[in-house]
Amino acid sequence: MRLDKWLWAARFYKTRSAAAAAIDGGKIDIAGDRAKRARLVQIGESITIRRPPYQQHIVVRGLSEVRGPASVAVTLWEETAASRQERERLAFQLKSAPTLTFTGGGRPTKRDRRQIEKVKEKAKW
């Protein structure tokens, strides 16, 4: 079965063309080598899927020609334990990271501009 079709059937991508674009973009590796769309997927192969900021290492457990329900799609693959731990660790780091906020009010007002000009004039002398 074709790789792009399998990724679509396993519900990693919403459309087959999105799966093909990810493969062409170098986001999918099979056994450490860059994959092509028409590469045949076999049971037991190791696939690496990069969807920033996460990277998943999965093992193919089944094949399906059609996109079925999510409960069936989950049975087509299995994520390695190391990949799952790394993904959960990264998710925790991202969740507990401080959020960046911008306190600036955009363009300076006329009053702000006058104060800036006063400071500049004092700096010249």
Model confidence pLDDT, tens digit, residues 86-124: 999 999 998 988 876 666 678 888 998 898 888 888 776
Q: What is the mean pLDDT of residues 76-83?
A: 96
Task: List the chain domain ranges.
Answer: 3-96
Q: What is the pLDDT of residue 101?
A: 66
Quote the mean pLDDT of the chain: 91
Tokens of 96: 């507990």
Indicate the CATH number of 3-96 among 3.10.290.10, 3.30.420.10, 3.40.50.11540, 3.20.20.70: 3.10.290.10
Alpha helices in the chain (DSSP H): 3-9, 16-24, 70-73, 81-96, 110-124
Q: What is the pLDDT of residue 38?
A: 93
Comparison of pLDDT for 12 and 122, the residue scoring more: 12
Instruction: Report d(CA 98, CA 112) in Å as an integer.
Output: 29
Distances (CA, A) of 22 to 27, 48, 51, 58, 68: 5, 12, 9, 16, 21
Q: What is the mean pLDDT of residues 47-74?
A: 94
Q: Label residues 32-59 b or e (16+ Cβ within 10 Å = b).
A: eeebebebebeeeeebbbeeeeeebbbe
Q: What is the pLDDT of residue 102?
A: 60
Rg (CA), the chain: 24
105: left (phi over 0), alpha (psi -120 to 50) or beta: alpha
Q: What is the pLDDT of residue 66?
A: 93
Q: Is the peptide bond before 69 cis (omega within 30 degrees of 0)?
A: no
pLDDT at 44 over 80: yes
pTM of the model: 0.75
